[in-house]
Chain A
Amino acid sequence: MQNISDTIIACSSPLGRGAISLVRISGPDLTFLSQKLKIKNLVNKKAIVKEIQLKHDFKEKCVLTFFKSPNSFTGEDVLEVSCHGNPLIVEFIIDFFVDLGCRRAGPGEFSLRGFINGKLSYLEAEAIDDLINSENELQLNASARSLAGEFEKKVDSLIDELLKLRVYLESNIDFSDEEIIKDFKRFKKNLNDFSIKINDFIRDSDASRYLIEGAKVVITGPPNVGKSTLMNILCNKNASIVSEISGTTRDIVQRSVKIDNVSFLLHDTAGITKISKDPIEKEGVFLAQELLSNCDLIIEVVDVFSRDYSCDYDKPVIRLENKSDLSDDLNKKKINTSFLKNTGIEELKAKMIEKLNLPNSLGQITFSARSRHTKLLKMAEEELSEALKLDSEDSLELIADNLRYASNLLGEIKSPYTSDELLGEIFSSFCIGK
């Protein structure tokens, strides 16, 4: 993990040309800078103009704004240096301060310091990251509300409700010889209601995650049925290619598209469904299976010649039968497409949105959730459904154990387990300068 007591510096505005760039400096005590800059004293929340002598006799007139600890984003002394928006000037300025004893910040180091100094909760830090990465209004609104604490409030209320359920159980176990309300049926009903509530929350979180991170879709099926073509069709028509990473995961091609404002991360597992002895292909099969168990939606493509091909998945699945133009006998249980004739594609797109089980209006989503959150929520939900399976009162202690785990999992959303590696890892997914 990084040093957290030295002075760090990074450009906090986007790299590139513009009117102004902002370089941010944070450290426990920045008075050493004022001496070196020959400024009498830095005054809290006051901006001053200062000409700084940079490399190669280059001078830059900067605006320096000082925030005294603890009244800053990081909770430390913070100096913000505004200069002309040129990457070269920014580099010069950073070099200048590095010479004075600052260190170039790693990703997320400013947020990490803010978190460590109690200036922002873990969920807020994540929301800031989402806010900055928002690409449309829906995302922006959702992450802004998350930052305002909507998500945290929701998690808190779930934790509270779960606590009440646990109180019922624990008092029935620890005070059974005294008089307390024993109504197992009602408890089971409350537990069931709570589980529905968590499920709704998971649905909303998933939806918000699709907004922020995109829904993970895997296209699978036997070879030569048109999986790659489908990928291209989905990407080229009415969709924008955001990124194209090929070969990084061997035979798995990944592309990001948007359909109706929802991001989809498409994964093509072309030609690797058969069992193979080739070690490289084996690796490919392994990766494909990984993907299948971690995705949000599966599109299984077959064609009229490979109708018998069908696999079981434990994720939502859309089954396509391609090359419908080559047969008169259509399978009514599947979506019939002809990639060649471009039929059935709109039906598929509608189905893709439908299968994600989004709330009626995406505008209703009042928070930004990440896969880290939904993963924990789903694990908690599994504990609850395990508990609901236990149908007799003599298993109270087992139900209590399931609920204890569920409660720990919900708690972990708010404050991830603080092993230092994990913390460093989480914050390093942030951009430099935050």
Chain B
Amino acid sequence: MDKFEIVIIGGGHAGVEAAFACSRLNKNSCLITNSPDDIGKMSCNPAIGGIGKSHLVKEIDAMGGLMGIAADYAGIHFRVLNASKGAAVRATRSQSDRVLYSNKVKDIINSEHLLTVVNCEVSEVLLLNGEACGVKLTNGETIHSEKVILTAGTFLNGKLFTGEEEQEGGRIGDKPSKKLADFLLSLNLKSGRLKTGTPPRIAANTVNWSATKEQPSDFPRPTMSFVTTDKVHPKQMSCYITRTNIKTHEIIMEGIEKSPMFSGKIEGLGPRYCPSIEDKIHRFSDKDSHQIFIEPEGLTSKEIYPNGISTSMPKQIQQRMVNSIQGFEEAVITKHGYAVEYDFFDPRELNHTLETKKIKNLYFAGQINGTTGYEEAAAQGLVAGINASLTIDEKPPWIPKREESYIGVLIDDLVTLGTKEPYRMFTSRAEHRLLLREDNADQRLSPIAKKLGLINDERWVNFNRKLEDIEKEKERLKNFKLSPYQINKLHKKSKAKRQTGVSAFELLKRPEITYEGLCEILNITPEKSEIALDVTTNQKYSGYIQRQKKEIKKIKKNENALIPEQIDFNQIEGLSNESKQKLSLVKPKTLAHAQRIPGLTPAAISLLLVHIKKKSLQKDNVV
């Protein structure tokens, strides 16, 4: 068969983002999937974004990715979470029409001329001298390539569980990739099992809506992408809220020993923060009610997605449980909930580029690395796609930094810490959270994207216009000086009685003074909300931002202290065996990276340092 520069296995959220990045970087690439119809399919709930996750989406968008755009074209419900809190932790959440989402993704993928979609299943990665050089298909054919990006999701040795029923599969109605899984296991990569689950789907026309609480879309509606407006949004739908009750909990407790999670059938660890309903009731036995968020599946869909009651209980228990909930008394289940257990590979065996350390030219992205969530998967796909392309061009890799993006936090956490449960992004994972806002993702990343050739001129021009507008607004506010009388009028408790001529820009730093209030008292027209938000937030955060920048500088020093690539951690004198193992697994490239490895004591780090210094001294002596 043909030869491509890059082969991407899998058409999920990681796969499409990887393929799209390769194609934007002019790589002749091929996306292999065994069901092209399912490209961009949302296998779990039909939502994109949320706290920490929307930051990833905006960053992917700033790098020219497709997730944000698809979410806007398919978005039937938008809300800003943490709206009452500061800008850094505000997050956009959108509900998508599943069909529109998948269609938009397919449109984007299909319009890329350099990208070929192949409908087949992969059984093996071809190796030559221990390096990946293509794939073998189950029909016996082979495809050669310089790089292989594997995004197999939950399909590796996937098993589905409903009550005591067990079947093989990666998603309901889909076969698992067993041959590929067996092949990968033969490569001696460290692997483990994880699980995740979905709730039963319910026929929308059997829900008593009047017994639930409606939650309409926000107004004005936010967007997930920097290049769209709310004009591309389709018709909007509401979400609804209901709750479980004591009766529900009783039904679940009765059948709990039949749940595969408790009967010991499932070995994999599930996400702590997205537990199944039986898990929640078991763990928080003091609570007699849990919230259920009823999400619409789409404009034409006849189903709803009851978020919060993910379960793998036997079918008849699911039915009784659902019917015990207010508003669901007459509800008919269209698809039962199930748990899926799958193989993942220890991400500590990956470089920051997502290339595996053991097999050159082979990249892993998405759930296969132990993450959960579309956004986390897409971000990894982007990183793998970009880096695979850059190495073909013999350019230096793009390693997103922790202080620059959530993508950087995600990648660094994965390859440094590994994971025991499905990894999900939270804002608290980012130590430089105040710098990494949703609304400034373009300022953080678009210049990089431009340099790498990932975004088009139109976007670049618009981005620069935004920067100019921000500067202009800052200048404008600096030129307005307020009298003490005006300041007092803005804020009665203001202590600035004797202060005269404080600029509007300076005043924005005070927590009690708002941009809108300033515009009103100065009788000036406010700027566009994105401009106002940026100027205001940078002023409100200014002390904190300066401090974080200082901190980053301090870390940089150690980030620049390189650990020689050929180092043998086992030879470091005095180091405990445990520390040796940890270092040998992660193979940190810089001192700062080594410091982030959990459980490495300061003493171990100093030994490492002494060792490096000694070696470099010896080298100098030889020269």
Footprint of B on A, CB under 8 Å?
A: 1, 3-5, 28, 75, 115-118, 122, 170, 173-179, 390, 392-398, 400-401, 404-405, 415-416, 418-420, 423
B529 within 8 A of partner (CB): no
* CB within 8 Å for A423 and B291 given contacts A404-B431, A415-B601: no
Interface residue from A170, A396, A401, A405 paired with B85 (Cβ < 8 Å): A396
- Measured between beta carbons, the chain A residues less than 8 angstroms from B50 are 177
Considering only residues 40-80 of chain B, those with a C-beta below 8 Å from chain A are: 50-52
Interface residue from A5, A117, A178, A395 paired with B291 (Cβ < 8 Å): A178
B391 within 8 A of partner (CB): no
Interface residue from A5, A178, A393, A397 paired with B573 (Cβ < 8 Å): A5
> A173–B544 Cα gap in the complex (Å)?
18
Min CB–CB distance B478 → chain A (angstroms): 24
Report yes or no: A116 in contact with B427, Cβ–Cβ below 8 A: no
Stretch of B120-128, B175-183, B201-209, B604-612 at the chain-chain interface: B604-612
* CB within 8 Å for A28 and B84 given contacts A176-B51, A418-B605, A420-B609: no
> A404–B602 Cα gap in the complex (Å)?
20
> A341–B510 Cα gap in the complex (Å)?
56
Report yes or no: A122 in contact with B602, Cβ–Cβ below 8 A: yes
From A3, A117, A174, residue with most partner B Cβ within 10 Å: A174
Q: Write the chain A residue with the least CB distance to B52.
A: A174
> A366–B219 Cα gap in the complex (Å)?
60
From B93, B427, B576, B602, residue with most partner A Cβ within 10 Å: B602
Footprint of A on B, CB under 8 Å?
A: 50-52, 81-82, 84-86, 88-89, 93, 273, 290-291, 426-428, 431, 433-434, 511, 541, 544, 547-548, 557-558, 573-574, 576, 595, 601-603, 605-607, 609-610, 613-614
Report yes or no: A395 in contact with B86, Cβ–Cβ below 8 A: yes
- Measured between beta carbons, the chain B residues less than 8 angstroms from A176 are 51, 81-82, 85
Report yes or no: A418 in contact with B602, Cβ–Cβ below 8 A: yes
Sample of 27 A–B contacts (CB below 8 Å) = A1-B609, A1-B610, A4-B574, A4-B610, A28-B573, A75-B574, A116-B574, A116-B607, A117-B574, A117-B603, A118-B576, A118-B601, A174-B52, A174-B426, A175-B273, A179-B291, A394-B85, A397-B85, A397-B89, A397-B433, A397-B434, A400-B428, A418-B605, A419-B557, A420-B606, A420-B609, A423-B606
- Measured between beta carbons, the chain B residues less than 8 angstroms from A174 are 51-52, 426-428
From A176, A177, A390, A397, residue with most partner B Cβ within 10 Å: A397
* CB within 8 Å for A390 and B610 given contacts A173-B428, A174-B51, A177-B51: no
- Measured between beta carbons, the chain B residues less than 8 angstroms from A395 are 86, 511
* CB within 8 Å for A4 and B573 given contacts A393-B85, A418-B606: yes
* CB within 8 Å for A116 and B603 given contacts A173-B89, A173-B428, A395-B511: yes
Q: Which 7 A-B pairs have the closest CB atoms?
A: A170-B428, A415-B602, A418-B602, A174-B426, A397-B86, A418-B605, A420-B609
- Measured between beta carbons, the chain B residues less than 8 angstroms from A394 are 84-86
Interface residue from A179, A397, A420 paired with B88 (Cβ < 8 Å): A397
Report yes or no: B84 in contact with A393, Cβ–Cβ below 8 A: yes
* CB within 8 Å for A115 and B610 given contacts A173-B51, A175-B273, A176-B82: no
> A397–B430 Cα gap in the complex (Å)?
12
Min CB–CB distance B264 → chain A (angstroms): 29
* CB within 8 Å for A398 and B291 given contacts A115-B603, A404-B431: no
> A116–B574 Cα gap in the complex (Å)?
7
From B50, B290, B603, B610, residue with most partner A Cβ within 10 Å: B603
Min CB–CB distance A308 → chain B (angstroms): 25
Report yes or no: B427 in contact with A173, Cβ–Cβ below 8 A: yes
Min CB–CB distance B88 → chain A (angstroms): 5
Report yes or no: B606 in contact with A401, Cβ–Cβ below 8 A: no
> A4–B573 Cα gap in the complex (Å)?
9
- Measured between beta carbons, the chain B residues less than 8 angstroms from A117 are 574, 603
Min CB–CB distance B51 → chain A (angstroms): 5
> A393–B82 Cα gap in the complex (Å)?
11
> A118–B604 Cα gap in the complex (Å)?
9
- Measured between beta carbons, the chain A residues less than 8 angstroms from B291 are 178-179
- Measured between beta carbons, the chain A residues less than 8 angstroms from B89 are 173, 396-397
- Measured between beta carbons, the chain B residues less than 8 angstroms from A401 are 433-434, 544, 548
- Measured between beta carbons, the chain B residues less than 8 angstroms from A396 are 85-86, 89
Starting from the known contacts A116-B606, A174-B427, A400-B428, 9 additional A-B residue pairs (CB-CB under 8 Å) come to A173-B85, A176-B51, A179-B290, A394-B86, A396-B85, A397-B86, A418-B595, A420-B606, A423-B606
- Measured between beta carbons, the chain B residues less than 8 angstroms from A122 are 602
Min CB–CB distance A171 → chain B (angstroms): 9
> A415–B574 Cα gap in the complex (Å)?
18
> A393–B89 Cα gap in the complex (Å)?
13
> A227–B223 Cα gap in the complex (Å)?
70
* CB within 8 Å for A418 and B609 given contacts A118-B603, A398-B541: yes
- Measured between beta carbons, the chain B residues less than 8 angstroms from A392 are 511
Q: Write the chain A residue with the least CB distance to B511.
A: A395
- Measured between beta carbons, the chain B residues less than 8 angstroms from A393 are 84-85
> A415–B599 Cα gap in the complex (Å)?
13
- Measured between beta carbons, the chain A residues less than 8 angstroms from B609 are 1, 418, 420
Q: Write the chain A residue with the least CB distance to B50.
A: A177
> A390–B574 Cα gap in the complex (Å)?
47
> A401–B543 Cα gap in the complex (Å)?
11
> A136–B557 Cα gap in the complex (Å)?
43
Q: Write the chain A residue with the least CB distance to B595.
A: A418
Q: Write the chain B residue with the least CB distance to A399.
A: B86
Min CB–CB distance B568 → chain A (angstroms): 15
- Measured between beta carbons, the chain A residues less than 8 angstroms from B610 are 1, 4, 420
- Measured between beta carbons, the chain A residues less than 8 angstroms from B595 are 418
> A423–B602 Cα gap in the complex (Å)?
10
Min CB–CB distance B432 → chain A (angstroms): 9
Report yes or no: A390 in contact with B511, Cβ–Cβ below 8 A: yes
> A396–B89 Cα gap in the complex (Å)?
9
